[in-house]
Structure formats: structure tokens, C-alpha cells
Structure 1
Amino acid sequence: MTRLTGFAGISAAMVAILVAAGVPTPLLPIYEEAWSLAPWELTLAFGVYAIALLLAILVIGSLSDHVGRRPVMVAALAVELAAMVVFLFASSIGWLVAARIVQGVATGAASSSLSAAVVELAPERHRKLGATVTGMAPLAGLALGAIFAGALAQFAADPMVTVWAVLVVVMAAGTVFAAFTPETSSRKPGALRSLVPSVSVPPQVRALFAATLPVTISAFMAIAVFLGLVPIVLGAVFGVRSPIAGALAASVAFAVGAVASVVTTGVPARRLRLYGAALTALGAVLFAGTVAAGALPLLWAAAVTGGAGIGASFAGTTRGLVPEVRPHERAGLFAAVYLVGYLAMGVPAIVAGQLAGVVGVPSTAVGFGIVIALVALIGVAVTGTPSSIGKGTRK
């Protein structure tokens, strides 16, 4: 297999992993109705995925820097395949939570190894393409997953079977493909030591990494809104329980984010993070306004602006950090980025689910939007003052 073929295939596998992550969003109303679930149970199923993912990143995130990319990619895709099988046969909220935990572990294991492999397999004449794909693939995958599952949920006779059966086939194919992908990282000692939970940011990018934290946190909290909170808000606030509605909102947000990461390749990374944080703040305010004013059309404005903010924020972060580290440090770097991101995505979602049972869904949603806006505005302030952070923030 050529490196170009490997690049295309692993990029597709990376998208497929995120497609599977986006699939539950439009299915939430179906599970809610079929199993008579409370909002906190839905957000728990969403939140445990992110927690399992970040724990996997902590333990496995740097492993491919030691044993090579291919073994970790194959194992991660095989575990993802197992998660799809559990989803396929799930019959209660307990099985759904179990499937989400297994999926989180698989996604966490895949995130850093697939990202690093994509960067390293990128064509020599287009080295920036790898960083562009790693910035675009998560959002493109989430958008495709939401619209794919939303369409099947709306029109298929048994969407809870059809959706997962298709993904079983996709993950099986991805596992086989990864097994034949060219290896891009040589083995080095310390594999067992790398399994000790830790976060390792290379010294040369620590100042820059610290400066990106508010931007990354607000972007991933915004992802949590469209993946886990919007379907609940649509049902509880607006009485809209159609699976395609939540799927469209999520797919619009993530599709806009993916496009934003592609069309801004010429924008300096710091400026891109600045734009991203500002747009994320605006999208969060619009989301809060959607709920507070009962104005459903505002949700689409929130999806467009928030999605653009998510895409610009994540692209600006990866493009600023990746070129500054050595090849054997890339998986560890991506692990640190995803650790921050998924912690920001999972914990607030679980907290929001608990609060919804106390203060109600509308108040919880408005508060969630306000918190995102405040964190994003901190990102604007920090990113806009590079001299206060250090030399690295010019990247």
C-alpha cells in the first residue's frame, strides 16, 4: 500500500470514528420515547462517552509514539467495532451507557494515533494538508454522523438496528485497512511507562498550549451543546421530537465548522483562534437567546456562528501547535489537546443533566450558553494579548 493510499484511508477512518460519535444525537429522542428516559439519563449516556474517552487518552494517548501507529490504530478500530455491536443489540439504558463507554475508549485510543498518522502520511509537497485534515475530520465526521443517523431515524423502519448495522460493516472495513497501512513511527523504549496516566506537553509549546486552553474548552463545550443538549431542548422547550430536527442543527454546526477549517488555511493560527473564540461566544449567546426568548429560528443562527467558531478554534489550535513539535511528540501533543477538549465536553454535560432535573431544561440550557460565552471571551482576551503569554502565542 502506498503512503498516499494510506493517507486517504486513515483520513477516512478518522472521519468514520467521529461519524459514529455523532450518530447518537438524532437517536436520543427515539431512545427517550422507547425506554421512557429522563433528560439526566440521556446526558449521562453522552457524558460517560467523553469521560471514557479522556481516560483512554490519559492511558493510551502516547502509546503509538513507542509501539508505532499501526498497532494502536488497529486495536482502536477493533474496539470501536465491538462498541457498534453492543449498540446494535442494546435493549436498555444500561447497555446504551456500556456501549458509549466502550466507544469512548476506542475513540480515545484512536484520536492521537490516527491524528499523528494522518499528519505523517500526508504528501511531502503538501505537509500542511495533514494538519488541515486533523482539524477538519472531527467536525466533518460529527456532521456526517448526525445527518446520516437523522435521515435513517426519520425514514428507516427500525433505525436503532439499521444505523448500527451499517457502522458495524464500516468499522470492520476500517480495521482491516489499518492493518495494511504503512507504519510511520519507529519503535522506541518506554511503552509500558507511557501507560501510566499523565499529560505531556513538549516544553517548546507549553506557553502556546496554555494560551489555547480557553479557546479549546469553549469550543468543545459548544460541541456538547449540539451533540447532547439541543435534542433535549428541542423536545422540552419547543415540543419538537423529530430526530431529523436535532440532526440538522448538529450537522449544520459541524459542517460549517469543517468548511471554516478548510477555507482558512491562509489565516495565521493565532488570528484564527481569535476569530474562533469570538464566534463561539456569539453562537453561545444566540443559543441562550433561542431558549430564553423561545425563538426557534435563532437556533440556526447559533448553529452557523457557533459551528464556525468551533472549526476556527480547533484549526487554529492544531495549526499553531503541530508544526512546533517533533514527530515522536505528536501523539502525546494530540492526547493533551483532546484530553482538555473531552473533559470540557463530558463533565459539563453530566452536570447539566443533573441540573435539568432541579431547575428545568430551559434554565440549564441558558446557563450553559452563558458559561460557554464567558470562557470563549476569556479566550479572546488571552489570544489577543500575545505579549502577556510569551513567544509561542504568535503561532
Structure 2
Amino acid sequence: MKRMLWVLLVMSIGATFPSSLFPLYQEQFHLSSLQLTILFASYAAALLPALLIIGSRGSAWGLKKVLRTSILLSLLSTLVFLLGNQAWMLFLGRILEGIAFGAFTGTAVAFLLQQSPAHETGRALRFSAIVNTVGFGLGPAITGLVIQYIQLQPMHLPYGILTVLLASGAFALETLADTASPQTTYAPAKISLGVPSAIRPYFWSFIALPIFMVFTLNGVVLSLIPSFVKNVIHSSNLAVSGLLILVLFGIAAVSQLFGWPRQSITRVRFGVVLLALGAWFTVISGQTANLGLLWTGIFIQAIGMGWTFQGSLQLAGRLPKPEERNKVISTYYLAGYAGFIVPIVGVGMLTFLFALNLALILLNIVASAVILYIFLFSFRFERFYNKLHQTSHMSE
């Protein structure tokens, strides 16, 4: 399990690695704000179809084979950034990384569960969520610290470090045995979200929708952090934004180690409420330029993110049958990354009609209504989940 968790960590680091370099790219290649937004969105736009296509076919192709290809694509993306001397290469690098992480995400969790004993499924899912969260925070932090304090080839040295990390992940993957064989019989290349009809309404309302809201509201926070560093903290230090992002994801990771609440359903129930509360603190801090409100919002939202992510991922792994997990978990991440695009597209469109602050308030109002629905639906989900487990125990 430890070696697969290392693979998951280095790939998660790679997914967010270039974030701290975006201001340098904007200056070097004279990118407009719109071009920078498109660069940011191109990653998620490439990730979603990769999740959809490969998530539905990963088990048939062989999980380890898909993971190996994903790491190679991530290495190729790193090489493109390393050699990039034109703006189009930045877009190519982010698109390649989006495809790589999209192919990797759902498949990695399914492969981790394959490597873990049946009685450790819950533990494996818990640690995969923690490692994923830590990796997302470490990426921008490592890059920011390197370019700010080492100041040796700032556009290249970070990617040299990432190459070493990814190579170590590839080596760790090759030491793991693939205990399941890919399908050898021909099957039509049907693309399917792969959520069984018996669990579909419960999955979408209490597993997919919460992770969608996690990525949506986190996108708002991540979009506010750079402006706070510049306008409130009045710092040009490139490491600060990365460290703030690390704090957000770090608190989210630590919150997943809390022993309470013990039940996954309760974690999601309380987690989404904290998400909404933290988001309101953060948006209000953006209007008042109040750093204390920002830290309060980040702290509350980070705990909500950690609990919601961990609890919903555990339910996504437990609810389906083992042979259905790869598709279901891929669909779970598909829902999450769809939420990642909302702040970019939704707020971007609203700013044509309203000021940015008002656009963020409108987004938060909609998000709060969705979270209220999730909270109320949680009691119906709990009855279904308990009944499902009673039935499975009786059949055993």
C-alpha cells in the first residue's frame, strides 16, 4: 500500500506543480488575463474526457498499464514545460498533464484497493484521500520555494525536481504486482459513466454532488489567494501563494486524521456545512480586505474539504461492487473536476453582468442552496446505506 500511496503523492504534486510559475509565465510570454484563465482551464478541460473515456475502460485495458501510461504522459508534460520557449508549449504541457491525471485518478484508487486486503478497504480509501490532498498542496509550495529562494534556473529547476519525483513514482509502480488481468475478449469501446442503476440516485446526490461542491468552492478560494498576497499582504514573494495553498490543503489533510466524526455519512454531512460557512467568510474577506476573515474562512473550509472529500471517497469505494469500483470512482472524480471549472466559467460569465464581488456572492448563494439539499438528502442516504449493508451481511 505504501508504494502505491507514493505513486499517488507524486502524481498529485505534478497536477498542481506549475501554479506558482503562472505569474512568471504571464510576464515572460506577455499573456493577457484571458489567456492565463484559458491556460488554467485547459488542464481541467483535458482531464474530464480522459476520466470519462479511460475510467470506463481502465479495468479492460489493465489498471497497471493505464497507470504506467499516465506517469509517462506526466513526464512528457514536464519535458514540454522544461523546454518551453513559446506560449503554445505551456498550453500543450497543461493539456498533457490533464490527460495524464485524468487517466490516473480513478484508476489509481481502484489499483490501490486491489493491492490492499479486503478488511483494509476503508483504511486504503482514507489514506488515498489524505495523500491526494497533501500532494495538491505540496505542488505549488515546492515550486514557489524553489523559484523564490534557490534562484537557479527558476523556469527549469522546479521541473528537474518534478522529473526525479515522477521517475521515483514510475519505479515504485513497477515493483507492484498487477493481481488482476485485463480482459482478453473483445468488448465494444462503450463510454459509460458506470454508476449502477441501483445506487445511481444516491451516488449523484450524496457522493458526486458533495465532491462537486468541494472543487467549486475551493476554486473560489484559490482564485482569491493570489490577489490577497498582492493587495492585502503586499508581498511580491512567489513562495507566499504556494505556502497559503499548502496551508489550505494541509489543514484539510490533518482534518482527515480526526477520530470524530467516525461515520463517513456524518463526515460528509458536517463537511458540506463547514464548506459553505468557510466560503462565506472567504468571500466577505475579499470584499473587506480583511486578512483575519480570510484565515478563518480557509481554516473552516479546509476542515470541510477534508471531511467531505474523505467521507465521499470512502462511500464511492464502498457502495459499488468490487468489479464496478473503477468506473464509479472515475465518475466520482469526473464530478469533482467538473466543479473545478465552475469558478472559471461561471464567475467569468457573471462578471460580464456584475462586479466580481457580486458574482462571487451569487455563486455562494447557489452553492449554499445545493449544500442545503445535500444535508437534507443525507438522512435518506443513511437509511439506504444501512439497509444495503444489512442485506449484504445477510447474504454472507
**TM-score where L is the length of structure 1:** 0.88
* CA distance in structure 2 between the partners assigned to 1:50 and 1:133 by the alignment: 24
2:273 to 264, 273, 278: 278
**C-alpha spacing 1:37/1:264, structure 2 compared with 1 (3 Å):** farther
The amino acid across from 2:281 in the alignment is L
The amino acid across from 1:231 in the alignment is P
Match of 2:181, SS? coil
Per the TM alignment, residue 295 of structure 1 is displaced from its structure 2 partner at its CA by 0.9
Q: Which residue of 1 aligns with 2:393?
A: none
Per the TM alignment, residue 190 of structure 1 is displaced from its structure 2 partner at its CA by 6.5
* CA distance in structure 2 between the partners assigned to 1:184 and 1:346 by the alignment: 36
- The alignment status of 1:148 with 2:154, answered yes or no, reads no
The amino acid across from 1:133 in the alignment is F
Please tell me whether the aligned partners of residues 232 and 291 of structure 2 are also in contact (alpha carbons under 8 angstroms).
no
Per the TM alignment, residue 238 of structure 1 is displaced from its structure 2 partner at its CA by 6.6
Unpaired runs of 5+ residues, structure 2, are 390-396
* CA distance in structure 1 between the partners assigned to 2:323 and 2:39 by the alignment: 34
- The alignment status of 1:117 with 2:111, answered yes or no, reads yes
1:167 to 159, 162, 166: 162
* 1:136-156, Cα deviation, whole Å (9 max, x unpaired): 122111111122122113213
Match of 1:201, SS? coil
The amino acid across from 2:209 in the alignment is P
**C-alpha spacing 1:376/1:250, structure 2 compared with 1 (3 Å):** farther
**C-alpha spacing 1:90/1:338, structure 2 compared with 1 (3 Å):** same
**C-alpha spacing 1:218/1:161, structure 2 compared with 1 (3 Å):** same
* CA distance in structure 1 between the partners assigned to 2:353 and 2:85 by the alignment: 28
Q: Which residue of 1 aligns with 2:246?
A: 251
The amino acid across from 1:225 in the alignment is V
1:89 to 83, 86, 90: 83
* 1:104-134, Cα deviation, whole Å (9 max, x unpaired): 0000110011111112212565332211122
The amino acid across from 1:25 in the alignment is S
The amino acid across from 2:139 in the alignment is G
Kindly indicate whether structure 1 or structure 2 has the higher relative contact order, using CA contacts under 8 Å at least 6 residues apart.
1
* 1:254-289, Cα deviation, whole Å (9 max, x unpaired): 111111223247611111111110110011101111
Q: Which residue of 1 aligns with 2:285?
A: 290
Please tell me whether the aligned partners of residues 58 and 339 of structure 1 are also in contact (alpha carbons under 8 angstroms).
yes
**TM-score where L is the length of structure 2:** 0.88
* 1:267-323, Cα deviation, whole Å (9 max, x unpaired): 111111111101100111011111111112222112111111111111111222312
Q: Which residue of 1 aligns with 2:199?
A: 205
Q: Which residue of 2 aligns with 1:47?
A: 41
Between structure 1 and structure 2, the one with the greater Rg is: 2
* CA distance in structure 1 between the partners assigned to 2:186 and 2:259 by the alignment: 37
Per the TM alignment, residue 20 of structure 1 is displaced from its structure 2 partner at its CA by 1.4
Q: Which residue of 1 aligns with 2:64?
A: 70
- The alignment status of 1:214 with 2:223, answered yes or no, reads no
**C-alpha spacing 1:386/1:45, structure 2 compared with 1 (3 Å):** same
- The alignment status of 1:260 with 2:255, answered yes or no, reads yes
* CA distance in structure 1 between the partners assigned to 2:297 and 2:280 by the alignment: 8
Please tell me whether the aligned partners of residues 221 and 282 of structure 2 are also in contact (alpha carbons under 8 angstroms).
no
- The alignment status of 1:16 with 2:10, answered yes or no, reads yes
Deviates more, 1:236-245 or 1:49-58: 236-245
**C-alpha spacing 1:101/1:350, structure 2 compared with 1 (3 Å):** farther
C-alpha RMSD of the superposition: 2.6
